[in-house]
Chain A
Amino acid sequence: MSTPARRRLMRDFKKIQDDPPTGVSGAPTDHNIMVWNALIFGPENTPFEDGTFKLKIEFTEEYPNKPPSVKFVSTMFHPNVYADGGICLDILQNRWSPTYDVSSILTSIQSLLDEPNPNSPANNQAAQLYTDNRREYERKVAKVVEKSWNLEC
């Protein structure tokens, strides 16, 4: 069954394969093109370096007019990531534009990793440590990086 959302997701998939962005990857699940699994590699020279973080992206038929829901599956310690893995990022809410695609979503999240916005905290502890005690913050991040290697696929 082909709907505008599904057709667009096929294009997104084709684009991410033909022109893969660095440090991120994503693909639809086997049986459902509306649900994707994605990976973000922690950017180099940041506390997240070497981490391989798993995410789940769920689209609705209103995509790309409405943003998909994006969640970290791997444990994450970041000022703008909620305990359930939900992400507080403007382009996934009010600043969404229908010209975004999966590649641009994933690269935006990747850059969010090292550029958190402590002013709209989703994780208070992380936001506080990020501003007040960077060393402890990095120690906690190192733990989730280590945890991300245990991939149970």
Chain B
Amino acid sequence: MDSDDDYFEAEDESSLVEDEGRVSDDEGFLGDTMIVPDDPLGSGSKEEDVYPFVCLSAEQIVELMLEILNEVNDIVNIPHTTLRILLAHFNWDKELLLEKYYEYDGNPEQIFKDAHVISPFKLKSTCKTKGQSSRTDAECEICCSSYSRSFMTGLNCGHIFCKGCWSQYLRTKIMDEGMSQTIPCPAYKCEIIVDDEIVMCLISEKKVRMKYQHLMSNSFVECNSLLKWCPAPDCHHVIKVEYRDRQPVKCQCGRVFCFECSESWHDPVLCLHLKKWLKKCDDDSETSNWISANTKECPKCQVTIEKDGGCNHVICRSQTCKHEFCWVCLGPWDPHGASWYNCNRYNADDAKKARDVQQRSREMLQRYLFYCNRYMNHLQSLKFESKLYALVKRKMEEMQQLNMSWIEVQFLKKAVDVLCECRQTLMYTYVFAFFLNRNNQLLIFEDNQADMEKATETLSEYLERDITTASIREIKQKVQDKYRYCDSRRNVLLNHVHEGYDKDWWDYLDL
């Protein structure tokens, strides 16, 4: 059997990390596809610890917010509106809030001050001082008109404005400036924060209320380290975890992403390196790398020159310069005379340095292009996945016509799933390797990588070509064996990298 041969071959190479025998994990895939939330990549890694997470809708986020509010309020017992601002001030870290709240020896005034709210314990006295006689009219300091006091309102800081100005003010802050949790009182130099109750009370326009609520949930999610918005466009779900880690999570919309950095799930490479890599790929800096690797500057006028002939006697084309120099040592041409082959004689330190820099830069470019090509190649192949899914779907329907049951043909879809996972992992292995210095562990890694890549390409070939030609029973056996093998190789590779992270095997380059 083809895959078994490969399997034993791999085992023979002592450098490979021990396989965990998942090849024989028969029919496990059927179960795997069912328990999606626990095992988003369907990688069959049941032995590993499950990373717990749940996917929340917009309403559930609001519920969660209320839940936290109630929970904390059972302990501190202050008005909800004030508590919400306090919690926001502490980035919704209830433990931190409680710790600080009781740290001040039963005098939490400082916390209220820091969070820009009026202490609910001082409230009555402040109200009294500004209370005045409630029958007279008062002037709104924003529009300078007089209104009856019933039309004026304000926060606990005592600054009151007319309701018209208030709603205009809030509208501007919410719609134009995108503020929610940090809108201050409109009064000059007053930093007291507007609570959600007064906003909802003063704003009647539905659009503004919606935006405000959205901004509130957003700031709740953003400042809560255990919550993350799904990065898919137009998806309004949130993933909630129990502890923060670099782990894959799967949203209801189907997007699988890294909880730590929100990029597509990128095992084995670290978030930090992936970020650097993506930046490098985006930057135009590679163009300048090419320039520095393939050209030299005229030593006199610094214009960039690309040599287009064999002769090393270079004359600068710049009309105002026309400097003659030696391409090899970058020194002036004159003293070279007949014996220019000995231009080591003119090996001035800076000429040598310039050459060293050039050499290094050229090597770096080569190295980058090596990894980049392979990375891009897998990325490109991944983009064809939808096409492949369509092809496989057609094939599956055909097979069902030929007396095969629905359950019997599912192996094809599973095979494409595995193929995509493998491609994605392979893609990121090149990013991983790009940042590493050579050592023995890297050699083992590269063996694993080569083995997995070979198997993945074979599987890809089976799925794209052979399924249309070979007999169905035969191809089913081949495909099943191969994708199980691929999956096991993928786990071996990932486990090796993870073990390396734990045991500090990887020696990072300073790039």
Contact = CB atoms under 8 A, between A and B. Distances in A.
A66 interface: yes
B179 to A, nearest CB: 11
A108 to B, nearest CB: 11
Contact of B143 (A8, A15, A62, A66): A8
A62 B172 contact: yes
Contacts of B172: 62, 65-66
B376 to A, nearest CB: 43
A143 interface: no
Interface stretch (B99-107, B181-189, B377-385, B418-426): B181-189
Interface in A22-42: none
Interface string B115-152: 00000000000000000000000000111110000000
Given A4-B164, A65-B169, A66-B172, A97 B144 contact: no
Nearest to A64: B142
B338 to A, nearest CB: 56
Interface residues of B, number: 17
A132 B186 CA distance: 39
Interface string A94-108: 000111110010000
B165 interface: yes
Contacts of B437: none
B142 A98 contact: yes
B468 interface: no
Interface string A57-68: 000001011100
**Residue picked from A8, A15, A97, A104, most chain B C-beta under 10 Å:** A97
B145 A7 contact: yes
Interface residues of A, number: 16
Nearest to B186: A98
Contacts of A15: 144
A44 B187 CA distance: 31
Instruction: Please classify the interface of chain A as helix (H, G, I), strand (E, B), loop, or mixed, using the class held by over half of its residues.
Output: loop
A15 B164 CA distance: 21
Contacts of A65: 168-169, 171-172
Interface in B164-197: 164-165, 168-169, 171-172, 176, 186-190
B169 A8 contact: no
30 contacts: A4-B143, A4-B165, A7-B143, A7-B144, A7-B145, A8-B142, A8-B143, A8-B144, A11-B143, A11-B144, A11-B145, A12-B144, A15-B144, A62-B172, A65-B168, A65-B169, A65-B171, A65-B172, A97-B189, A97-B190, A98-B142, A98-B169, A98-B186, A99-B141, A99-B186, A99-B187, A99-B188, A100-B188, A101-B144, A104-B188
Given A7-B145, A8-B143, A98-B142, 10 more contacts: A4-B143, A8-B144, A11-B145, A65-B169, A66-B176, A97-B186, A99-B141, A99-B186, A99-B187, A101-B144
Interface of B: 141-145, 164-165, 168-169, 171-172, 176, 186-190
